[in-house]
Structure 1
């Protein structure tokens, strides 16, 4: 490869991964296959141009980029004011620090564009940062290359395997070493390592993958992959797979058992706010209220609106149908998983999930953010909590002050799920069964309920239903931190067996399962048109 080709390859490589490109350049220099001025210059130029690109992104699109998925998690709204203050006082230091600290470059440089930092000044800062960081990294790798690559060369020989192994070692060192110098960085590393064995925080696709053979077996046994969509013929579409209306489902339940709710349809934000205010006046509701998308999933977009202005702002930000509910203070919440076979007169409670809402307790000296990162569980979902704190992350709570971190009772929103088998009683099962049987066409799903008193709840009284989920419901007690992975899979295998059996029985009774193509089309339409990007409270 000619010198020009090497330069172009390294320049373009920085747009994919700056660290890997710089490390590769260092290893090539160490092996005598690249001149060090060429390697350093190509990497500096590529990094400088990509930094300008991030600034330009923020400059051209402004705050709109904060709603983009790959930006939102790295640059929450609360950080903008903080970055604005830092840019005013220590702009150069901030840009240089972002170059050296993993995970901070994108939010800082995009924020610089959003906040209108001058192009010439930012370009100078970015160039200085690149000149400090890039040669140091490239030449350090070149100097230490023999020390790291030597053992791999003895094992693999001098081929590409040794090169890739050394590349991986250096990349891990570059990503890990800077984090070790700060408490937050060390907490991030600890959380990342803990995810390897704390399976309740695994990505859904990874967690469910081992169940695929069992689901395939059930699909063959019950003559169709989509057989479960016939399990709840009373819930449209597809028995509650995706896109079902929360309000329509609640309206099919006995109204004396549900939290008072109303549907706010799509339309101009002002008329929707007026509609909500009219409902509040007619029904005698008071703030706070719960607002959530009518077709949302996993707690996305749920907000606790504390006054009329907050409710109006929510309706302005989310133009699709919204369910407004009178706030039930709890303090307890549970997920009751229920099923009934179509030919049987009564159903059963499969499981109960006892939900524990996250909170930190102040010590009078640490900020809320520090308290979150210190906590061995809360740090696992720290970005979720920090994204919803609205500028409060740097507040120092008083000693023994309890600061709630979530309202939505969803695991992915930070709530801890524990097995609630101790809450199941014949009286509660009888009450849930009586409610479920009044919903024509419902046989399988999870009731999310709130209640004030444990003893009264166990007697089947004093609870209110806030939501009912259909065939894609989980028996969420499996996420109990004390459970083993194999125990969780055992429960899910039984849950899916029941679901397929109910769907097969309903099919024999004349309820046709949905077609796979229709399900895929509806799911694509939902995620394209109505996907919820609002953070939940």
Structure 2
């Protein structure tokens, strides 16, 4: 079974530096890559508590992006963040409309899309959500209707034009309020794993034959249950996931070596056109690595606030020590930024308000359909 990571059907075409830079042999998974959340994040939570004690407010980071609900820690509106974009930033964001599920959803969605100059294919995703939960690709009007019907009623959705670029990346942006210029602290390439048929093995056989997917059948088989016994023709390909999220099966690679002054300048120009945004991850699709390094030919999928991660830590070659160092650095920065914004007069959201929104978001996530 041939196993090809996308976005380029070859690592080298992506110029991902992790193997060469670290000099480590390829391995299917890192030692901690799929630990239970409580196991990996307990030290992070403890560090957050220590910082909260030091700053006298456990919710200090929520002031880092004060115009966003909880600073983007939880419960924030995806469209609400994108709506804040000025004339410069909006040119880099893939066009979208919103819709609250109810009755006659398909006709209302098509009317809204037509008014914005959109047509299928579109990506349908919940306005409040995380980790790719509920993200659906609608290639046709029939698939759009099915995707809308899969959500509970009175759920606000974002319908976004499908970006034509194959490649995806996450760029982590930090700018202190007293600094005229921001930085990109992390760049992560997101590969979509693809099975390639040989004319006799079933999809399930191919999954079991690969060193990585064989360890993660619980992630891939629920989404592919209708095709597990299908035999792919020789050379036929099957993407294992659509959403570029690590916990949903995408494969992440550290692209730090490809952070260039041109890319930093472009991203800084965009993010400074979003009022009082200082800390978070920008998820983009892009034409090529060379174009991305020049700060060209990419489109923004969404912008995430203080609840987002520097996702290069999920590169299988990242050590646990390196992962925690990155986590601690970023959370320390968001406390520092939040404290500076509070001195400007902005307020943090408060611990219990954040807890209520987190519980509400958790209930919403449980109600969403399986992502594509």
Q: What is the TM-score when the length of structure 1 is the normalising length?
A: 0.61
Counterparts of 2:244 and 2:367 in 1: how far apart (Å)? 17
Counterpart residue number, 1:302: 135
> Could you say what secondary structure the match of 2:216 adopts?
helix
Task: Indicate which of 386, 391, 412 corresponds to 2:226.
Answer: 391
What residue ranges of structure 1 are gaps of 5+ in the alignment? Answer: 1-193
Counterpart residue number, 1:243: 75
Task: Indicate which of 282, 294, 303 corresponds to 1:447.
Answer: 282
Give RMSD over aligned pairs.
1.6
Counterparts of 1:284 and 1:210 in 2: how far apart (Å)? 47
Counterpart residue number, 1:472: 307
Report the alpha carbon displacement of residue 528 of structure 1 after superposing the two structures with TM.
3.1
Aligned length: 340
Task: Indicate which of 268, 273, 285 corresponds to 2:118.
Answer: 285
> Could you say what secondary structure the match of 2:168 adopts?
strand
Report the alpha carbon displacement of residue 453 of structure 1 after superposing the two structures with TM.
2.0
* 2:94–2:163 CA contact under 8 A, matched in 1: yes
Change (3 A) 1:451 1:529: closer
String of CA shifts for 1:128-149, please: whole Å, max 9, x gaps: xxxxxxxxxxxxxxxxxxxxxx
Report the alpha carbon displacement of residue 264 of structure 1 after superposing the two structures with TM.
0.9
Counterparts of 1:346 and 1:369 in 2: how far apart (Å)? 49
* 1:296–1:531 CA contact under 8 A, matched in 2: no
Counterparts of 1:421 and 1:391 in 2: how far apart (Å)? 38
Tell whether 2:246 aligns with 1:411. yes
Counterparts of 2:327 and 2:360 in 1: how far apart (Å)? 28
Counterpart residue number, 1:174: none
Report the alpha carbon displacement of residue 283 of structure 1 after superposing the two structures with TM.
4.1
Counterpart residue number, 1:335: 170
Report the alpha carbon displacement of residue 208 of structure 1 after superposing the two structures with TM.
1.1
Point out the structure with the larger strand share: 2
Counterparts of 1:529 and 1:420 in 2: how far apart (Å)? 33
Report the alpha carbon displacement of residue 224 of structure 1 after superposing the two structures with TM.
1.6
Counterpart residue number, 1:218: 51
Counterpart residue number, 2:326: 491
Report the alpha carbon displacement of residue 231 of structure 1 after superposing the two structures with TM.
0.8
Structure with max Cα Rg: 1
> Could you say what secondary structure the match of 2:148 adopts?
helix
Tell whether 2:354 aligns with 1:522. no
Counterpart residue number, 2:341: 506
* 1:300–1:532 CA contact under 8 A, matched in 2: no
Tell whether 2:202 aligns with 1:370. no
String of CA shifts for 1:25-58, please: whole Å, max 9, x gaps: xxxxxxxxxxxxxxxxxxxxxxxxxxxxxxxxxx
Matches within 5 A, 1:76-91: none
> Could you say what secondary structure the match of 1:217 adopts?
helix
Counterpart residue number, 1:311: 144
> Could you say what secondary structure the match of 1:346 adopts?
coil
Task: Indicate which of 343, 349, 352 corresponds to 2:187.
Answer: 352
- Larger relative contact order (C-alpha < 8 A, sep ≥ 6)? 2
> Could you say what secondary structure the match of 2:224 adopts?
coil
* 1:234–1:440 CA contact under 8 A, matched in 2: yes
Task: Indicate which of 93, 99, 104 corresponds to 1:258.
Answer: 93
Counterpart residue number, 1:14: none
Task: Indicate which of 266, 271, 280 corresponds to 1:431.
Answer: 266
* 1:296–1:532 CA contact under 8 A, matched in 2: no
Counterpart residue number, 1:204: 37
* 2:133–2:365 CA contact under 8 A, matched in 1: no
Matches within 5 A, 1:38-117: none
Counterparts of 2:342 and 2:117 in 1: how far apart (Å)? 45
> Could you say what secondary structure the match of 1:489 adopts?
helix
Point out the structure with the larger helix share: 1
What residue ranges of structure 2 are gaps of 5+ in the alignment? Answer: 1-27
Counterpart residue number, 1:184: none
Q: What is the TM-score when the length of structure 2 is the normalising length?
A: 0.87
